[in-house]
Amino acid sequence: MSQRRRSVAVYPGSFDPITNGHVDIIGRGLAVFERVIIAVLVNAEKQPLFSTEERVRLIRQCFPGNPRVEVDTFSGLLVDYAQRVGATVIVRGLRAVSDFEYEFQMALMNRRLNPSIETVFMMPAESYSYVSSRLVKEVAELGGRVDKLVPALVAQELRARFPRRAPRRIGGGPRRTRG
Ligand code: PNS
């Protein structure tokens, strides 16, 4: 049995919501690992835009009928979750140098907690290097287009959450006077 056949990777995150950058990383993970478990963090402190159930549903809809992709939720320590589901690898995406410090700290902390689980960093296509769930939500809320940055279903959900309003005049602005 090849190494790939045996390896199960966990791809953890908030996924609020899943972006095309995440989808890109999952594709890369599938090229290397036999199974990728997308693990959505249940974080009671944060106020997510999408509930855990909605985030899971949106991710599942991105990978219909793919037996090598699993979507799950987790709370508590990531390494404990990984061990429980039989994963030996944690996949994280690295978009830019600015991601590195936080990711490096997390990887080393996770290694200290459980040295048998390896963190593997993957880089998304350059075209997604600036895409984050946080910016996508902000742009959508302010009426900008995010169609190319998130899966179609996510764009649809964001449009439903943030219906486009006519731009408001600020400070009265110049008004047309009648003839
Ligand atoms: O998408 P995000 O928000 O950058 O993902 C962060 C995540 C979920 C990977 C991270 O917060 C995490 O692993 N949380 C679980 C708690 C944990 O294990 N903490 C100690 C390791 S640093």
176 is catalytic: no
What pLDDT was estimated at residue 45?
Answer: 75
Measure the CA angle with vertex 161, ends 158 and 166; round to 5°: 95
Q: What's the pTM value of the predicted model, to 2 decimals?
A: 0.90
What pLDDT was estimated at residue 136?
Answer: 98
Q: Which of 15, 41, 46, 94 to mutate to test the pocket of ligand 1 (most atoms within 8 A of CB)?
A: 41
Q: Which residues contact residue 54 at a Cβ distance below 8 angstroms, ignoring those fewer than 6 apart?
A: 157
What pLDDT was estimated at residue 37?
Answer: 98
Rg (Cα) of the chain, in Å, rounded? 19
What pLDDT was estimated at residue 179?
Answer: 42
Mean pLDDT by 10 residues, the chain (179 residues): 73 97 98 98 88 97 96 98 98 94 97 98 96 97 96 97 71 53
